[in-house]
Amino acid sequence: MLGSGPDVWEIVAVAKDNGGSVADTAAYLEIDPRLVESALRDYGADRDEIDDWIERVHALNECDESTWRAALRGRPDRVHFASLPDEQRAIVTRDLGDFRPLLAEALRRGSSNYGLVCVPARFPLNHDGIGRLVAALDALLRAHPEVGAAISLGGEIWLQDPTGS
C-alpha cells in the first residue's frame, strides 16, 4: 500500500542508531531491506534536509517528555494509579510497598485497572541497564499482548530478564 510504513527520516534515524547497518535497521523496523537501501539513497541526496527534520523531531519529543515528566512529578501514587484505567496502562514499578495496597484495594472494589508490572532489583535503573529493562518490557508485551494481561494473571506480572542476567 502506497504511503504506509516508516518515512525516510524514520528509517535514517534507526539506521544511524544501528551503525548504518541495512540488515539491522530492516530487522528492527520489520521492513524489507530494499526499503532501507532506498531511504539511505534518498538521505545521500538530501542529507541536510533530513538531518534537520530528525533534529526537529527529537527536539519536539524532548519537549513533550519534559512537559509530561513535570506534570507527573509530585503527584501522589494514588493519583497515578487512579489515572491509568482511562489510559489502559499498567504501573511499571519497584515501589511495591505503595502500589500493592492500591492494587489490592482496586481488586477488592472491582475497580477497573490494568495491574502492576513489577521490576526486580536485578534490573539496574542506570544508563547501562536501561536496555535490559526495555528488552524485558518488549518480551513481556510480546508474550502477553492482550490489554489487561496483568489483571488476568492475578494483578501482578514480574518482569523477567530475557538476557538471563
pLDDT digits (tens, 9 = 90+) for 85-137: 777 778 888 888 888 998 888 888 888 778 888 898 888 878 777 888 888 88
Judging by beta carbons within 10 Å of its beta carbon (0-12, 13-18, 19+), is residue 129 exposed, middle or buried?
Answer: middle
Residue 77 has pLDDT above 70, yes or no: yes
Q: What is the pLDDT of residue 2?
A: 44
The answer as to whether 144 is a domain residue is: yes
Whole-number Cα distances in Å, 136 to 103, 122, 154, 157:
22, 12, 19, 12
Query: Is the pLDDT higher at 73 or at 133?
Result: 133
The answer as to whether 138 is a domain residue is: yes
pLDDT in tens, 24-66: 888 888 889 999 999 999 898 889 888 888 888 777 777 666 6
Torsion on CA atoms 77, 79, 84, 85, rounded to nearest 10: 130
The answer as to whether 22 is a domain residue is: yes
Q: Strand, coil or helix: what is 91? A: strand
pLDDT in tens, 131-150: 888 888 888 888 887 767 66
Pair 20, 49 in one domain: yes
The x, y and z cell numbers of residue 13, run together, are: 534515524
Pair 20, 34 in one domain: yes
Pair 23, 65 in one domain: yes
Pair 86, 47 in one domain: no
The answer as to whether 31 is a domain residue is: yes
Pair 34, 15 in one domain: yes
The answer as to whether 163 is a domain residue is: no
Residue 102 structural domain: 77-158
Domain end point (choices 38, 54, 72): 72
The x, y and z cell numbers of residue 67, run together, are: 512537559
pLDDT in tens, 4-30: 568 888 889 889 988 999 998 888 888
The answer as to whether 60 is a domain residue is: yes
Domain end point (choices 23, 41, 72): 72
Pair 50, 36 in one domain: yes
Cα separation, 10 vs 14, in Å, equals 6
Pair 48, 14 in one domain: yes
Residue 83 has pLDDT above 90, yes or no: no
Q: What is the pLDDT of residue 71?
A: 65
Pair 108, 65 in one domain: no
Are 117 and 93 spatial neighbours (Cβ–Cβ below 8 Å)?
yes
Backbone angles phi, psi at 145, to 5 degrees: -75, -15
Count of structural domains within the chain: 2
Place of cell 520489520: 30
Q: What is the pLDDT of residue 34?
A: 93
The answer as to whether 2 is a domain residue is: no
Domain end point (choices 57, 72, 87): 72
The answer as to whether 165 is a domain residue is: no
